[in-house]
Amino acid sequence: MHNYRLLVTGSLTAALIAGGLTVTAYALIRHDRSYSRPYAIPAAVPDSQVNLMELSPVPARPAPGFTLTDQDGRVLSLSAFRSQVVALAFMDPHCTDICPIVSDEFTDAYRDLGKLAGKVVFAAVNVNQYHSAVADVTAFSREHQLTSIPSWHFFTGPGPSLRAAWRNHNVAGQAPGPDAGIVHSSVVYFIDPRGRERYLASPQAGHTSSGASYPPPGQIAAWGRGIAQLAGLLAA
With pLDDT > 90 as the criterion, what percentage of the chain qualifies? 65
What pLDDT does 218 receive? Answer: 80
pLDDT of residue 207: 57
- Look up residue 27 and give its DSSP letter: -
**191-207: per-residue pLDDT in tens?**
999 999 999 999 876 65
Query: What is the reported pLDDT for 67?
Result: 98
Q: Which CATH class is domain 47-235?
A: alpha beta
**pLDDT over threshold 70, residue 8:** no
Mean confidence (pLDDT) of the chain: 83
Q: Indicate if the pLDDT at residue 210 is higher than 80.
A: no
Q: Is the pLDDT of residue 136 over 90?
A: yes
What are the residues whose beta carbons fall under 8 Å from the beta carbon of 173, sequence distance 6 or more? 16, 127, 166, 182, 183, 184, 185
Residue 199: is it exposed, middle or buried by C-beta count within 10 angstroms (0-12/13-18/19+)? Answer: buried
pLDDT at 39: 81
Question: pTM above 0.85?
Answer: no
**Is the pLDDT at 227 greater than 70, yes or no?**
yes
Q: How confident is the model at residue 213 (pLDDT cuts 50, 70, 90)?
A: low
Least confident piece of the model among 30-39, 108-117, 146-155: 30-39
Q: Is the pLDDT of residue 38 over 90?
A: no
Cα 80 to chain centroid distance, Å, stands at: 19
Which pLDDT belongs to residue 22?
34
Pick from 88, 160, 156, 87: which is nearest to 127 by CA? 156
In the DSSP assignment, the letter for residue 7 is: -
Q: What is the pLDDT of residue 35?
A: 53
Mean pLDDT for the stretch of residues 13-18: 36
Q: Give how far Cα 182 sits from Cα of 131, 170, 215, Å.
A: 11, 16, 19
- pLDDT for 118 equals 97
Overall average pLDDT of the 59-74 stretch: 96
Tell me what pLDDT residue 194 has.
Answer: 97
Q: What pLDDT is recorded for position 122?
A: 98
Task: Give the pLDDT score at 177.
Answer: 64
CB neighbour class for 139 (10 Å; exposed up to 12, middle 13-18, buried from 19): middle
pLDDT at 181 over 80: no
